[in-house]
Amino acid sequence: MVSSNQRLQKVIAQAGLASRRKAETLITDGRVSVNGQVVTTLGTQVGPGDQVSVDGVPIEGREKLVYYLLNKPRGVVTTNHDEKARATVIDLLPEVTERIYPVGRLDYDTTGALLLTNDGTLANQLMHPKGRVDKVYVAKVQGIATESQLQPLRSGVVLNGRKTAPAQAEVERVDAGKKNSWVRITIHEGRHHQVKEMLAKVGLPVQKLKRERYAFLDLVGLQPGEFRSLSHQEVSRLKQGDYRTLRRK
């Protein structure tokens, strides 16, 4: 219910259905009605007692859109239900009553940043190949990694007959005694096992893998298994297509 006279696109945005810009598109496309009448004029004022619907569904009757960032631990599957009865990422958010689902996936033994939401529009936007969402991983690999060894990843390597997009890759540190290294790699694709296969391709088998950042979202303040709600500003940035990471110097 609208508490005071407001512009229609603002009411839709405040309901969490879309960004203000997307709400304007919904209106001009004829998908919004007020009291049963389709409204296509931007700036239309609505007030208390007016019923606003999008695609025929009253906005008051829609499930509240929620957005969470989870620090996924090892040994948890990225799905809503698992046929093997293993723990799922949904099990880690027991107090969340909305029907959320993960955006993309992390492997069973991969840890780190995972976004969960019930906003299908944003989820599809983020997972679409044209989205080019930066994902930053730190991998513990077998062997002494060198910058020259990572060069093919910066140009793209062929996996299963398809060349990967150029990635950012750098050696974080090496442990000569244990003969392993830590490599930071940034990709914006989402192929199955992609980071592991890319590193294996250049002779650096992955022993541990963590996604430290998804777009501009990081894990500061989150221990494995912990999660937090995204701020309104963070959601707006994602909806506006701001998928940049903080670049390392």
- What are the residue numbers of the active site? 107
Q: Is 241 helix (H, G, I), strand (E, B) or coil?
A: coil
3-state helix, strand, coil in the chain (%, to 5): 25, 30, 45
Structure tokens at 236: 């707006």
CA 131, distance to chain mean position in Å, is 11
Structure tokens at 182: 């830590």
Structure tokens at 6: 């407001």
Contact 113, 214 (CB under 8 A): yes
In angstroms, the CA 183 to CA 171 distance is: 5
Surface-to-core class of residue 117, CB atoms within 10 Å of its CB (0-12 exposed, 13-18 middle, 19+ buried): buried
